[in-house]
Amino acid sequence: TAEPVSNLQVRQALFMATDFQTIANNVFGGGDILGWPVGRGNPSYTPLENQSAQVQALFSFNTAQAKQMLTAAGYPNGFSINITVNASIQQEIDAATIMVADWAQIGVKVNIISLNQVALASEKTANTFTGLLAWPVAVANPLTPMQWYSGTTVGYTYKTGEPLDVEETAALAEMDPLKEQADATQFSKDALVDCGIIPLTNNYLINCYWPWLTNYYGEIDGAYHNQVVMIRELWINQSLKTSLKY
């Protein structure tokens, strides 16, 4: 991974110079600004108020401090960077547009590249994009972000390695669910500090379903965009359906 994003201080500066709350409110209509590597409700999720002071500072939208970090990283005059987005997803374009204005305050010039889904997926799979790439990631299963982060699934993110590699390997190999959860929790905290991904918003969704659909609680997917693992556990309560005159 090339400079400048291979530099941890640069990644942290870009993270700190992002107005996550404005993006959440104006682009997604609300949501958790901390929704990655796992979402709220997951056993490995740690709310922002319970995160370390360093993580809380990263979400503080402090452009003055972010500018100082860029200077310390060797970029006192900023730099130019690409953000590649899906041309058919307006939310990605709108979020990137806000980031253009945010990052301009620390001297970073953003060039938004809009690609269709096929071209975007091709660049992601081949890892031929430069700068940053917008792509949705699943946060239901804490092991999935680990695979995204390490590049064991298609596409790669920027990372420094230790201690994340150790935590990721341990969690993926662990058979004890409590130890696995502990490893995933620690990974989730350290991945935020590493800033390999700039998570925009885990936006709120309203899912409506019939009350007789048993064992379903509004999930969109189980693990990585995979409905099979949950569909096989669902069943229709015919007695309840009949009693409700359906």
**Poorest-pLDDT segment among 50-64, 67-81, 223-237:** 223-237
**How far is residue 78 from each of residues 7, 17, 59, 90, 188, measured CA to CA in Å?**
13, 12, 20, 27, 29
Are the CB atoms for 134 and 63 separated by under 8 Å?
no
* pLDDT for 159 beyond 60: no
pLDDT attached to residue 222:
61
Are the CB atoms for 168 and 174 separated by under 8 Å?
no
**Poorest-pLDDT segment among 63-67, 83-87, 125-129:** 125-129
Q: Would you call 185 helix, strand, or coil by DSSP?
A: helix
Separation CA 155–CA 149 (nearest Å):
9
Pairing state between β 79-86 and 132-133: parallel
Are the CB atoms for 189 and 106 separated by under 8 Å?
no
Detail the DSSP E strand segments found in 155-209. 202-203
* pLDDT for 241 beyond 90: yes
Does 4 sit behind a cis peptide bond, omega within 30 degrees of 0 on the bond before it?
Answer: yes
Separation CA 41–CA 19 (nearest Å):
24
Q: Which two tokens stand for residue 166?
A: 């150790």
**Which among 119, 140, 170 has a CA at the least distance from the CA of 41?**
140
Q: Which two tokens stand for residue 137?
A: 């990631």
Q: What is the rounded radius of gyration, in angstroms, for the C-alpha atoms of the chain?
A: 20
Answer with the residue of higher pLDDT: 156 or 43: 43
**How far is residue 241 from each of residues 39, 233, 238, measured CA to CA in Å?**
32, 18, 5
Average pLDDT over residues 48-67: 97
**Poorest-pLDDT segment among 28-32, 59-63, 92-96, 237-241:** 28-32
